Amino acid sequence: MLDTFIVSLKFRFNSECTSVFKLISFVVQFGDSFDDAVRQLAAVVQLNTDVCVAEGRVVMTNKCYAVPEGAIQSGPSSLQSLTSKIVTLGHSVAYKNFYALLVFLLTLPVTSASCERAHSKVDLVKSAVRASMGSERLEHLVLISSEKSALDSVNVSAVVN
């Protein structure tokens, strides 16, 4: 049992996955390793690496994080704050490649629990009796089952009316 657990951890957190997580800090900190980190991450996301680096440099040096005179200059504290600032300033359209990279990094799942949960819901919804169900209907039923808490708060009679 312990061996299975260790193999699973090594598979989920292999060197490629951990290197992506390490590179994220270089993007937020905007230091000497910024260009290399953005290039590697853009290659993973299959974006134009040179364009991502150029856009990222413009965004990070564009006084997005201006502070009062005499105060210590600081950058974003997280990917989320950087992305929010880009959207607020309207840079998400002008620098769409760098923005796409940031959105990709923000949506990376840390674990596979959500995927496993979705497969469990599919098993519950699609039984042998419902084996002839179309994929679109199955997808909708799994979504309803997965988001039951949000669905419970909807006033069904108001929607029907």
**pLDDT tens across 62-120, in order?**
755 444 444 444 556 778 888 888 888 887 888 889 999 988 888 876 666 666 666 67
Chain centroid to CA 54:
22
* Predicted pLDDT of residue 116: 67
157 falls within a domain: no
Q: Indicate if 35 and 76 belong to the same structural domain.
A: yes
Percent of the chain with pLDDT over 70: 65
Split into its structural domains, the chain has a count of 2
**pLDDT tens across 117-155, in order?**
666 766 666 665 566 677 788 778 777 877 777 777 888
* Euclidean distance between CA atoms 19 and 86, whole angstroms: 25
Q: Indicate if 102 and 121 belong to the same structural domain.
A: no
Domain membership of residue 66 as a residue range? 2-106
Q: Indicate if 49 and 73 belong to the same structural domain.
A: yes
pTM as predicted: 0.55
Chain centroid to CA 147:
19
Tokens of 142: 């799994």
pLDDT at 14 over 70: no
pLDDT at 2 over 80: no
